[in-house]
């Protein structure tokens, strides 16, 4: 759920902004706003920047996504793509298989202790160059006001 909130906020960001944002989250300078899974999430003043009141600083999720972004940046440099022109076109987080452990409780009982890993899909794309639309002459599609249509009687 933390990774979902982190991924949702960096979607459509440029690569440099997303990396700076995640480093700010790790330094507690910016927060990740929680919009979907926000039951019991405390309020913080840094969430006002995103027009919401609930936010956190998920360190594990931020580190993993930051690692993915750095890996994608080095792949782009290897292919000869300028990382300054890249933005996050698609990022998705899906649940993975849970890993099982056990925790020992009072009176000899044992409860499950499950981890909740996730799969992260990340696609970066170069920004398209803006092309100016050629100027064309506009035709007047409306009839002149002096013309009045008459109905047959």
pLDDT, one tens digit per residue, over 4-39 is 999 999 999 999 999 999 999 999 999 999 999 999
- Rounded Cα distance between 50 and 43, Å, is 13
Between strands 99-104 and 32-33, the pairing is unpaired
Token pair, residue 33, equals 């706003």
Task: Please give the average per-residue pLDDT across 75-96, as a whole number.
Answer: 95
Evaluate if pTM is beyond 0.85: no
Confidence band of 149 (pLDDT split at 50, 70, 90): low
Check: CB of residue 91 under 8 Å from CB of residue 107: no
Query: What's residue 135's pLDDT?
Result: 81
Tell me the per-residue pLDDT of 98-144, one tens digit each, with 9 for 90 and over. Answer: 999 999 999 999 999 999 999 999 999 999 888 888 887 776 666 55
- Longest Cα pair distance anywhere in the chain, in angstroms? 99
Neighbours of 107 (CB within 10 A): 4
CA gap 53, 48 in Å, rounded: 6
Placement of tokens 């799969």 in the chain: 119
């Amino acid at each position: 759920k933390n990774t979902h909130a982190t991924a949702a906020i960096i979607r459509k960001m440029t690569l440099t902004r997303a990396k700076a944002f995640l480093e700010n989250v790790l330094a507690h300078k910016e927060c990740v706003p929680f919009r979907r899974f926000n039951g019991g999430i405390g309020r913080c003043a840094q969430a006002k920047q995103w027009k919401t009141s609930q936010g956190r600083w998920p360190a594990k999720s931020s580190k993993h996504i930051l690692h993915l972004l750095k890996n994608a940046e080095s792949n782009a440099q290897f292919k000869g793509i300028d990382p300054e022109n890249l933005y996050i076109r698609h990022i998705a987080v899906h649940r993975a298989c849970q890993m099982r452990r056990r925790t020992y409780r009072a009176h000899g009982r044992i409860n499950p202790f499950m981890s909740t890993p996730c799969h992260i899909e990340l696609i970066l794309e170069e920004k398209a160059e803006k092309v100016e639309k050629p100027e064309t002459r506009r035709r007047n599609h409306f009839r002149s006001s002096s013309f009045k249509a008459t109905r047959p009687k």
